[in-house]
Structure 1
């Protein structure tokens, strides 16, 4: 581990509650990225409610991870040495701090049935949920729990769902590799680079959702996270509370392209927010060399990141689908 890491980091921490009756095993994670703390606040509130007796876990198992990446959290930034939510997998030769996190976190995820991963985002925008693929037997992300994910999506308390993450990211890595050249190396050129917590969970036979609770500093984001946890507990029957009603007519979008920054001086044409509408030909930004980046078709911009580093995700493009109509 690099010598400049703080030496007084707390150990990895998870909190486990078990009900008397059988039920699903749910894990809720927060601060996978250290500057995304709304989920941490919501989990701290939940622990207080359970420990005080105000809320009782009646069935199944609930595991809470309030700070998944303690180094990034301590530093108040997205990552310690690298993005934990990329190329997530155990390794026999840990070199970066996030490798040690993965060696602890991956077995913990695999011991559960369901994951709710709580995040926030940089640009302004409304909360939304990232959902996995339709059931399939393909080689990239085979899956058989789409119905379970879709049912929980409708009960988290948000009105927008986005899918297509891993397939879009895999195509983006192919372009990144082509641009970098045959001699280039790096984790961000790994075909598995798009695998994060939810993708790893699905690879282990479970199912998972990522809830983007709002902008990092939005004071409403911890409440979005709190409501989603409580709704999940009720929906999965881990608590003796009425199940939340299913939302109908949700907006559904599918990612279809990720565009990287090539140089730190690449600039957006305006302060984009996630899900701003695009028309074919709209100018999204300009490269340092003067190349104008335009929308290829009608759709939405997602995760615009003006602060992205070179060879990292600058923005995503998405199109509407009828999946949650």
Structure 2
């Protein structure tokens, strides 16, 4: 017979410090067949446009102003309650990294991540609503083309691309996971602690792994009230596009499609972005993007766009990403 675990065991001590508050999800089921959509907010706790936009749509569903006729939609307004309560990006770690089931969770995000993964498996389509620091135009991240590769095999690129195009924002970007692999390789050359490629997996990557498809919507600046409106309009467009409600199909926005092709990594303290850039800003060939601590300029290798400029990058992090006009059409 197994001995009982002593009261002063390490696992119990670790568990005692975890936040065990529940995840609240709200589901509306139409009376006719249709796809199953899930909408997430506050995967990062300081990104409040998602919860605000989602709650607005929930109230319209409850009041009858918006009627789910077909399929199902599940709303998870606050995916990371601890971080949301603390008004921080994360509780113990970034929930939108290393998203997968973990039989022995090591921290709070592991614990809620297990439940979020279970929810994602119950659905076919994901809309994950985010915001970002600083100024910039809203944009959508979508996934790879159909492929049978090892990194992110996929077979619903056409449906996912159409979904990304319907959300009403002008810029759509792809190439995240391939570029994360480049970041790992660049870190290795600097003899920094090795990262696993699974660190690049977030909610949408897990959704594709589970057989569905999904996109990340970046609605704008964290504190800009307009970000809530972008999120709200995108949710309504998603419901109409998928046929869950009786509404005209949304028009596809005028779009810039960007393929991320390069990461510019911070190699030493003092490496920094040069210029007041925003994601999606156009770059001319040879234009200075960043400058090394020794004064060396980092320039655009060809005409393209800057993605995720990071003024506070530490060694091993991306100063920014570089992308080009994509050959893909949505």
So what's the TM-score if we normalise by structure 2? 0.89
Q: 2:180 aligns with which of 155, 169, 180?
A: 169
Within 2, Cα distance between the matches of 1:23 and 1:64? 16
Match of 1:235 in 2: 241
Match of 1:214 in 2: 220
SS of match in other structure, 1:162: strand
Say whether residues 1:200 and 2:206 are aligned partners.
Answer: yes
Say whether residues 1:150 and 2:161 are aligned partners.
Answer: yes
Instruction: Specify every segment of 5 or more residues in structure 1 that has no aligned partner in the other structure, as ranges.
Output: none
Within 2, Cα distance between the matches of 1:111 and 1:280? 46
Within 2, Cα distance between the matches of 1:123 and 1:263? 24
SS of match in other structure, 1:156: coil
Do the aligned partners of residues 79 and 262 (structure 1) sit closer, same or farther apart at CA in structure 2, a change above 3 Å counting?
farther
Instruction: Specify every segment of 5 or more residues in structure 2 that has no aligned partner in the other structure, as ranges.
Output: 1-12
Match of 2:320 in 1: 315
Post-superposition offset of 1:279: 2.5
Do the aligned partners of residues 218 and 263 (structure 1) sit closer, same or farther apart at CA in structure 2, a change above 3 Å counting?
farther
Post-superposition offset of 1:289: 4.8
Within 1, Cα distance between the matches of 2:315 and 2:91? 18
Q: After superposition, where does 1:1-325 map in structure 2 within 5 Å?
A: 10-180=21-191, 184-185=193-194, 189-247=195-253, 250-263=255-268, 265-324=270-329
SS of match in other structure, 1:180: coil
Within 1, Cα distance between the matches of 2:256 and 2:290? 26
Post-superposition offset of 1:231: 0.7
Q: Which has the larger radius of gyration?
A: 2
Please give the root-mean-square deviation of Cα atoms over the aligned residues, in Å: 2.2
Residue by residue, what CA displacement relative to the aligned partner does 1:111-157 show, whole Å, maximum 9, x if unpaired?
11000011111131111111111111111111111111122222111
Do the aligned partners of residues 98 and 262 (structure 1) sit closer, same or farther apart at CA in structure 2, a change above 3 Å counting?
farther
Within 2, Cα distance between the matches of 1:39 and 1:169? 25
So what's the TM-score if we normalise by structure 1? 0.91
Task: Tell me if structure 1 keeps the 8 A contact 2:50–2:129.
Answer: yes
How many positions carry a matched residue from both structures? Answer: 318
Post-superposition offset of 1:13: 1.7
Match of 2:10 in 1: none
Within 2, Cα distance between the matches of 1:92 and 1:54? 42
